[in-house]
Amino acid sequence: MQATTRYARSGDLHIAYRTAGDGAVDLVYVPTWVGQVEVLTEEPSIAAFIERLCGFSRLISFDRRGSGLSDPWEGMALEDQMDDVLAVMDAVGSERAALMGSLEGGPLAMLFAATYPERVGALILYATFARGTRTEGYEFAHSEEERAVKFGALIDQWGNGATPAALAPSRASDPEFLEWCGRMERHAASPGVIRKIFDAVGQTDVRDVLPSIRVPTLVMHRRDDSMIDIAHSRYLADHIPGARLVELEGSDNLFAVGDSEAILGEIEEFLTGTRQVREPDRVLATVLFTDICRSTERAAEMGDSAWRSLLGRHDDLVRAEVLRHRGRAVKSTGDGVLATFDGPARAIGAARSIEESVRRLGIEIRAGLHTGECEIIGDDVGGLAVHIGARVLDKAGPGEVLVSSTVKDLVVGSGIQFRERGAHELRGVPGEWRLFQVG
């Protein structure tokens, strides 16, 4: 984004905004209330998402009144906030722009598009809603009681990174992501202000506005969204004239996490008429999967609270050993981890160290490794190499570090000893694979 945050005057208020890119299409991102334009791009996945948008647009973003770097304000009516969108567009010289809104940014974008069609070339809605609470004919929203419980729990943990479990469950065990989320929460607003914002969002209702939206509209939503039911987007697509609904795979609500390229491709094609065919980034890496043996039985024996505490200590030790061996913990698998390394010997060293470290907690693990070409998908990895690594893990017994023949061949001369485990068929992988136990 633009190196310097600037301010647009909206009546007596100052609205913080930033711009990025010089594409032919102006794209105004109408954000959620929980944000701050400078902290936003400190998360690598969001910075990458923005960079991709800038390949075909000039991206304009701002902080909502009452949050982030914009002036504080008690009144939160959407009608007044439309002036803020106009002020930012005028400040950057944008006569006509596409609007993109997600979560509670969506209702403001919808109202603006219906009210100022001459300033809006297109409307993009991602994982958003028309009404904040359940009512007759809109039964898929949370009830007021459910909202009170859900958002009350978030507010109680505000500033500590409470939102990832809801917004990006695939990153909920990533310590760097959690730290960024906590920082974003603190910079967005205080807990008391956030409570007022959540209350205002609960009173939102733009259902009567939808038939008046006459600009081309794209509605997107991931089918298993962890934050908001896809029924909201289906309702929008049914009630906005000519709207096109795209249902995407995945459970992360945050657009930059998970398969972000699917979202970006839809946006690019919608705004420009073409979609850039992007080859996935590929890298040679050693994939490590670990898994706690008898985890279900242990959880039942210990009880939920004691098991969660033990699992947290396990996760801390695993991440520490992965980092110590120059690896990257990609994601938690519930009772294990997926990590990647730039060398197979380091991956084997990490697996051995993890097995020894967690044994002191009374935990026994197993591990599977394979080296191959991986696809980089945002913060995740995919491809056949990852699939093979998972299947090697399936063949490992308690306390074993099992590797494919590829890994064994690549560490010749390292002094690492192996015991042959024979040829195996790996589910979903063609051919037979020779596997070896480390040590």
Instruction: Please state, for a pLDDT cut of 70, what percent of the chain lies above it.
Output: 98
Strands 13-20 and 6-10: antiparallel
Own/partner long-range contacts of 410-417 (Cβ < 8 Å, ≥24 apart):
410/344, 410/371, 411/344, 411/345, 411/348, 414/345, 416/345, 416/348
Question: Per-residue pLDDT averaged across 3-11, rounded?
Answer: 90
Q: Which residue has the higher pLDDT, 148 or 270?
A: 270
CA distance 19 to 6: 9
- Name which of 125-134, 177-186, 229-238 the model is least confident about: 177-186
Mean pLDDT (the chain) is 91
User: Please, which residues have CB within 8 angstroms of residue 397's CB and are 6 or more apart in sequence?
Assistant: 366
DSSP, residue by residue, 136-168: TTBTTSPPHHHHHHHHHHHHHTTTS--SHHHH-
CA distance 9 to 348: 58
Question: Per-residue pLDDT averaged across 3-15, rounded?
Answer: 91
**Which pLDDT band holds residue 200 (cuts at 50, 70, 90)?**
confident
pLDDT given for residue 73 in this prediction? 83
- With a cut of 60, say whether residue 425 has pLDDT above it: yes
Domains along the chain with CATH numbers: 6-272 (3.40.50.1820), 281-438 (3.30.70.1230)
**Which pLDDT band holds residue 277 (cuts at 50, 70, 90)?**
low
Residues 405, 418: contact at Cβ < 8 Å?
A: no
Largest separation between any pair of C-alpha atoms in the chain: 75
- With a cut of 90, say whether residue 337 has pLDDT above it: yes
pLDDT given for residue 280 in this prediction? 58
